Amino acid sequence: MLVAYLPGAGKSTLLNRLYGLRGDETAPVRAGDVRVIDSRQSRNWWARFLGPLPVRLRTPVVQATHVWRIGRAVVAGHGVVAHTRGTWPHILHCFAWLARRRGGRLHLILIDVAPETARAGQYARGRVVTSIAFARHRRRWRPLIARARSGGPLPPAAGVTVLDRDAADKLRAIHFT
């Protein structure tokens, strides 16, 4: 299960609420058979080594570690609830392929909030992506959310749930069957 939207939309906030994350974790969190994986965990782990580097140099290392952790948990056969941007189709296809190899399926929860709300969330948490990067995410997100809202297929996902902020705030649990 991947929770996706633009940076600042509330993905980490949702995982915090559902799984009791504090934001200071440095590794995926076990919740029964599920692994909860947020990119902050990779950012926190790397902070002690990469702290003095500019964000532009740290981000690729942190994102690669985050993607690797998700892939590793899927390959190990765990259920995974992970935060992802959702705007990298090749990454989604990779996770879906790994899940299928383990007899599982990829599901997406898309948090659909106005870009202005996501941008405000970035400022509120003190981690603002550049205007160029945010514009790129928005450009990639528009067709994805349009297909999801129209009921169109979203390969490689086996299922897609679109939540607005109010619905995301009311979500109480994610269950695997």
Q: CA-CA distance, 34 to 15, in Å (whole number)?
A: 12
149 pLDDT band, cuts 50/70/90, is: confident
Residue 55: its pLDDT value, please?
Answer: 83
Residue 89: its pLDDT value, please?
Answer: 81
pLDDT of residue 21 exceeding 90, the answer is yes
CA distances from 169 to 7, 10, 118, 123 (A): 17, 9, 15, 20
pLDDT of residue 153 exceeding 90, the answer is no
Residue 75: its pLDDT value, please?
Answer: 94
pLDDT of residue 87 exceeding 80, the answer is no
pLDDT digits (tens, 9 = 90+) for 54-85: 888 998 999 999 999 999 999 999 999 998 87
Residue 35 in contact with residue 78, Cβ under 8 Å?
A: yes
For the segment 106-131, the average pLDDT, to the nearest whole number, is: 89
Residue 13 in contact with residue 20, Cβ under 8 Å?
A: no
Report the candidate in 28, 15, 20, 19 with the shortest Cα–Cα distance to residue 109: 15
Residue 106: its pLDDT value, please?
Answer: 92
CA atoms within 13 Å, Cβ hemisphere of 169 = 5
Does the reported pTM lie above 0.75?
yes
pLDDT of residue 38 exceeding 80, the answer is yes
Residue 22: its pLDDT value, please?
Answer: 94
Residue 32: its pLDDT value, please?
Answer: 86
Q: CA-CA distance, 73 to 52, in Å (whole number)?
A: 30
Place of tokens 């296809």: 93
Residue 31: its pLDDT value, please?
Answer: 93
